[in-house]
Amino acid sequence: MLGLQEAFWEDWHWATDEVISLNWIANTVATTIDHHVVIVPSGPADRQDTASLLVQQVIHSAKQRLWVTSPYFVPDQGVQDALRLAAMRGVDVRVMIPERPDHLLVFLSAFSFLPDMLRAGVKIYRYLPGFFTSKSHTRR
């Protein structure tokens, strides 16, 4: 939770030049379910595009399967290349995008990437019930 708070603090400071006080004492939550969460902030103030680099590393490490859902599929060149390379080396790469948009321009932008993906063997699916907001992947 502190990682999420730190990302908020950095973005707030970058946007406003204000230094805000936050509670930096970590709270733990007891649970019987094993959860794994990685907070990867990215934005205009970052010196490195760590989110893209992390996504590319996940794609490159996939051996059998990489299934991705994204409500806004607008991958940068590195992610596009990594997805195509994964499909070309035999990984089952699937990308699911929504059938209906909440932001038309972003939705239409995704279609410019799809022909190259399809030629490389990436499978593209449309979520027919409408729009979804989850961004997830399963890798094996």
pLDDT in tens, 65-104: 999 888 888 889 999 999 999 999 999 999 988 887 787 8
Q: Which segment of 2-11, 24-33, 72-81, 91-100 scores lowest on mean pLDDT?
A: 24-33
Query: Are residue 57 and residue 28 in the same domain, yes or no?
Result: no
Nearest to 87, CA basis, from 55, 134, 53, 124: 124
Query: Are residue 116 and residue 88 in the same domain, yes or no?
Result: yes
Q: Tell me, what's the pLDDT at 132?
A: 63
Domain hosting 58: range is 48-139
Q: What percent of the chain has pLDDT over 70?
A: 90
DSSP 8-state class, residue 102: S
Q: In what order do the strands lie in the sheet with 123-127?
A: 123-127, 92-98, 65-69, 136-139
Query: Are residue 55 and residue 42 in the same domain, yes or no?
Result: no
Query: Are residue 39 and residue 101 in the same domain, yes or no?
Result: no
Q: What percent of the chain has pLDDT over 90?
A: 33
Query: Are residue 119 and residue 57 in the same domain, yes or no?
Result: yes
Query: Are residue 12 and residue 73 in the same domain, yes or no?
Result: no
